[in-house]
Structures are given as structure tokens and as C-alpha cells.
Structure 1
């Protein structure tokens, strides 16, 4: 009994460990999912950063083109002013237009230079943002790898716990069934002793009252209910008890032929009981 209790304590501990591992596996799965979402977010952010960087380059190119064109316009205005001076009074209106064109080109150059300065400032400020984003994504990916490795380790540990639980369950059931078979032998031995003592059938219990009977009708035996061996076990077990009790009753009545017949039937049924108990032990239904 003490050994059986220790086995049951170990099984209870393994059940707790299995529950804990399952919970840890669920949490690690959720963490992996979260890290995947973060990684995706960083990937999207890096894409947006790249797009923004491309826009800055295009703005810089446009500003450079504007500056180039304004320089050409300024040069044209200077040439136009010179030509207007050569023409004299008739070129006065053209000279005014050349001056306005020069002012406009200078203003365009000024604005283009301002745009280029702002663009360069944005680019300089955006570089550390890009670098930080890339670094954070790399760290997230490293963490994700470690979490996935931990998840696989948990799966391995959980499988080992399940295997250990299976072994202890088998040992526990083997111990129980061996005890049942021993009880069965001792019960038959008690029948022979009661025959020698001329005791009546009330000296022995019913098939529902022994260790096997309580297991079969009230205990963990119901987990085997779907097996053929479990269904076949009931009849010979019941017959063993009935024949043993009938043998005691016939002995009290002095009918030795009936005693012999009942004892033979009891022994035959006993063989089937042991057979089906062994089948259940080896069925793996535990």
C-alpha cells in the first residue's frame, strides 16, 4: 500500500508538471506570435523609412535642378541686361525685364538653397532613426530565435514528462493488477479453508465487494470500459464468487458432488479472470 501511495504521489506530481509545461508552451507560443508581429511592424517601419529616404533624395535632386535652372536664368538675365545696354533707350523695357528675371532667379536660388538645407537636416536626423530601427529589429529577431529554441526545449521536456508519466502509470497499473491476481488466489484459498472448516457462504464477499469488483464498478476500471477484455472480465469474475459461495453452501448441505462441480467451475472461471486481467495490463489503455 505504501508503495502504491508513493507511485500515486509521483503520478500526481507528473500531472502537475504536465499542466505547468502545457501552460508554459501556450505562453511561449503567444510570445512568439507577439514577437512575429513586432518583427513585422519593424519591417514595415523600415520600408517606410526607406520610402522616406527615397523621397528626400528626390527632393534633393529637384532642389539641385531648380538651383541649376535658376543659375541659368540669372546668367541669361545678365546677358539680357548687357544686350539692353547696347541697344540704348529702345532696350529700356527689356532691361527692366532682365532685372526682374535676375531678382526672380536669385529668389529661386535662395528658396532652393533653403529647401536643400532643410532636406539635408532631415536626412541627418533620420539616419539615427533608421539605425535604431534596424538595431531594434535585429534584437527582436535574436530574442525570437531564443524564444523559439526555448519553446522547442519545452516541447522536448513535455514529451519526456509524458513518457515518464506513461511509465509510472504502467508500473502503478501493473502493481495493482498483480495485487488483484494475488487477492484472487487468496480468495480461492480462503474458499478451501472454509470448506475444511465447514463454514457457509456468508464467510466470503460478493464479486462487487472485493478489490477487483470495487475497481470494476466504482473505481478507475471504467477507463477500460471501451475494451473487449474489460467487458469479458465481468462474467468469469462474477462466476468465481458465485461458484465459491455455492460450493460452501453445498458443503454445508453435504452434497460433495455439487461441491466438486462448483470448485471446478470456479477454477475454470478463475483462469479467464487472470487472462483478461493480463490483457488489460498489456492493452496500454492507461
Structure 2
């Protein structure tokens, strides 16, 4: 074999070797694509070589990924989750020889297949909210009964206090009359003493008159016949003195009896006066107790009203939270009771427009400010429900976050205004209570 033939043979061998290498390379590439195809037929697929150069991206990946460096970072950091501009994806990484094959699957906010933890949590939250709502409603009914009883107690205590005041007034009048009676009795005692002194004077005069008549009789007897006329006069004077003495004695007996009776009346009157004074003091204590009881009863009315107001407001807040929870359950694809209604036809709206809210709170300044933000909550919530609910609807994470942010911002102001309404109502209640209890 000459030199030329050897050269040709060598070239053929080199060509064959290159052909084999190319064939092997093609086989590897085919196997690579087979691995890619087997790895996923639905997800976005991206492949990098050992130098982190992009060597493959399927149509789904090319249509959704603008910056592959984010995917490469996930590969380098072995992340199982990827956040793009407008969606999130689960990352599945497989290595084949020196290639990194990345499967990207969009995550749906409705996807709860992995254990259903979110769904169970949401169900528990919903149940807890419903239970709390029922508790508030039960408390509200009980407070209504307490408020009725407190009002009846307050009215009864007021009536009792008025009766006590009437008794106090009557006892004061009786005490005054007894004081007058005591003064009259004291005056009678003094008058009877004066009469007794006058009787003593009359008795002395009768005694002296009797002595004079005796002396006159003696002188008449001494004068004989000439003194007979004077003797008759002396006898009449003696008779008059005797009758005067008898009359004075009778008057003295009567006055003594009057003095005894007057003394008994005075003693009895003093006892009655003492009893009246003691009764008056007890009634005064009772009156103070009744006043305190009435104030406490009235205060309990206002306290019950204040507690009722707090429950009213918190029940309104709870209704609002339940509405939002139902919205989020709808967006998450869970069982829900969400109904797309405007801000007039939800529980809070009815409470505000025609229910207890209007009845109890419509006169406070902040009441009107609530409607604007409540309207925003429902408007944005209904838009979110329309655009992003249901498994067949795919909303970007950013869109959902933006809508929820609008709902939550308005909802925060709903709570702020509900708190203002409660504060202003309680201020009114406290002013009314202070005026009634302390004036």
C-alpha cells in the first residue's frame, strides 16, 4: 500500500471517527429532548448547560418568561418556588448529564391539592366567625332583656324615691305640728300655774274676809241692839267668804286635775315627738339609700346601653369580616357563601340603612362618613369576584393583590368610622347619664 492510499485510509478513519462522535452527540441530544419531553408535556420547560447557558425553552416558557436569569437563580439556589412579574410557579429541577432541566408550573390561587391546609384553615376561620357572630347575637338578645329590666328597676326606684320624699315631707309636717302642740301644752302648763297662783290669792282673800267678818260679828255683839244690822252684814260677808273659799277649792281641784292631764299630754307628746324624730332620721337614711339605689339603677341602664352599643358595633364589624372572608374563600376556590351584593343589601348595609344602626347611631356626626368606604369595599370586592373567581379564570397575582389591597384599605376605614360612631354615641350616653345622675 503506497503512501497515498495510507493517507486516504487515515482520512477515512478520521471521518468515521468524527461521524461516530457526531452520531453519539446526536444520540445524546435526542436523549436530552426525550428526557425533556418525558419530564413534562404541560409545564414551561427550560434547560441550561453546565456553563449555565440557555439551550432550550419550550413555547410556554418563551411566552411567559422575559428574564431567564430569574429561572437560573432558582436553579443555582435550588428553589422550589419562583415569583415572576405577574405570576408564581412551582419549580421542579432534574439533572441529566451536565444539563439542568427546569419544569415551571404556574401556581393557581385555587390550587389546594397539597394537603388542603388552606381550605381546612379557611373552614375553621369561617366556623369560628359564624360561632362568634351567633354569640354576639345571643348576648345582644340577653342585653335587650337586661335593658328592659334595668329600665323597669330604674322607674320603680324613681317611684319609690318619690314616695319616700312624700313620706319625708309628711313626717316633717307632722314634726312641725307636734312642735306646735308641745308649745301649746307648755303654754297650758304655764297658764295652769298662773291660775293656781290666782286661786291661792283668792283663798287668802277669802280667809282674810272670813277673819274680818268674825271680827265684825264680835263688834256687833258688843254694840248690842245697835249692832244687829251690822251683824247681818257680817254674817253675809262670812257666807260670801265661805262660798269663795269653797269655789276656790273646787277651782283648785279642777286646775290640779288639768295640770295632771296636761302633764300626761306633755309626756305623751314628748314621746310621740321622739318617735317622730327617730322615724324622720330613719326615713332620711332610707331616702339616701333610695337615692343611691335610683342612681345605681339609672347608671346600670346607661352601662347596659353602652355595652349594647359596643356589641352593636362589633357585630357590624363581624358581619363585614364574614363578608370579606366569603369573598376570599371564593377567590381561593373553597366552599363559600359569597353573594355579589351592593353595599345596601349586605348585613352591614341593612344594619346601616334601616336596622339598629340607623335607629341607634344615625344622629352621630361620623355616621354618614361610613357609607363612602363601605361602598368602595363592595364595589372592589364584586369586581374581584367577577374577574378572578372560578377555576377557569386565571388572574395574575399582582392583579389579585391590587384588588385585595383596595378592599382592605377601604375596609380599614370602615372599621375606623365604626369606632368613631361608637365613641360619639357613648359620649352622648355619658353626657345624658351625667345630667340625669348628678343634677
**Is the structural similarity TM-score above 0.5?**
yes
Q: What is the alpha-carbon distance in structure 2 between the residues aligned to residue 238 and residue 31 of structure 1?
A: 60
Cα shift readout 1:7-26 (whole Å, capped 9, x = no counterpart): 33333332332222222212
Work out which of the residue numbers 403, 420, 432 in structure 2 matches 1:279.
420
Cα shift readout 1:122-177 (whole Å, capped 9, x = no counterpart): 22223222222221221122122122212212222333334444444333322331
Match of 2:152 in 1: 16
Q: How does 1:1-286 map to 2 (within 5 A)?
A: 1-191=137-327, 203-221=339-357, 222-242=359-379, 244-245=381-382, 267-283=408-424, 284=426, 285-286=428-429
Q: What is the alpha-carbon distance in structure 1 between the residues aligned to residue 205 and residue 350 of structure 2?
A: 102
Q: What is the alpha-carbon distance in structure 2 between the residues aligned to residue 107 and residue 271 of structure 1?
A: 113
Q: What is the alpha-carbon distance in structure 1 between the residues aligned to residue 327 and residue 287 of structure 2?
A: 59
Whether the 8 Å contact between 1:248 and 1:259 is mirrored in structure 2 is no
Aligned-pair Cα RMSD in Å: 3.4
Q: Gaps (5+ residues) in structure 2?
A: 1-136, 390-395, 430-439
Q: What is the alpha-carbon distance in structure 1 between the residues aligned to residue 248 and residue 351 of structure 2?
A: 94
Q: Give 1:108 deviation, angstroms.
A: 0.9
Query: Where is the strand percentage greater, Structure 1 or Structure 2?
Result: 2
Q: What is the alpha-carbon distance in structure 1 between the residues aligned to residue 244 and residue 277 of structure 2?
A: 48
Name the TM-score, length of structure 1 as normaliser: 0.81
Whether the 8 Å contact between 2:175 and 2:276 is mirrored in structure 1 is yes
Name the TM-score, length of structure 2 as normaliser: 0.55
**Bigger shift: residues 113-122 or 160-169:** 160-169
| 1:274 to 1:109, Cα distance in 2 relative to 1, 3 A | same
**Bigger shift: residues 52-61 or 106-115:** 52-61
Cα shift readout 1:8-67 (whole Å, capped 9, x = no counterpart): 333333233222222221222222222222222222222222222222222222211111
Q: Give 1:89 deviation, angstroms.
A: 3.2
Match of 2:102 in 1: none
Cα shift readout 1:95-115 (whole Å, capped 9, x = no counterpart): 222221111111111111111
Larger RCO (alpha carbons 8 Å, 6+ apart): 1
Whether the 8 Å contact between 2:316 and 2:351 is mirrored in structure 1 is no
Match of 2:54 in 1: none
Q: Gaps (5+ residues) in structure 1?
A: none
Q: What is the alpha-carbon distance in structure 2 between the residues aligned to residue 3 and residue 226 of structure 1?
A: 24
Q: Which has the larger radius of gyration?
A: 2
**Bigger shift: residues 139-148 or 262-271:** 262-271
Q: What is the alpha-carbon distance in structure 1 between the residues aligned to residue 188 and residue 352 of structure 2?
A: 75
Q: What is the alpha-carbon distance in structure 2 between the residues aligned to residue 127 and residue 82 of structure 1?
A: 47
Query: Where is the helix percentage greater, Structure 1 or Structure 2?
Result: 1
Whether the 8 Å contact between 2:213 and 2:238 is mirrored in structure 1 is yes
Whether the 8 Å contact between 1:66 and 1:109 is mirrored in structure 2 is yes
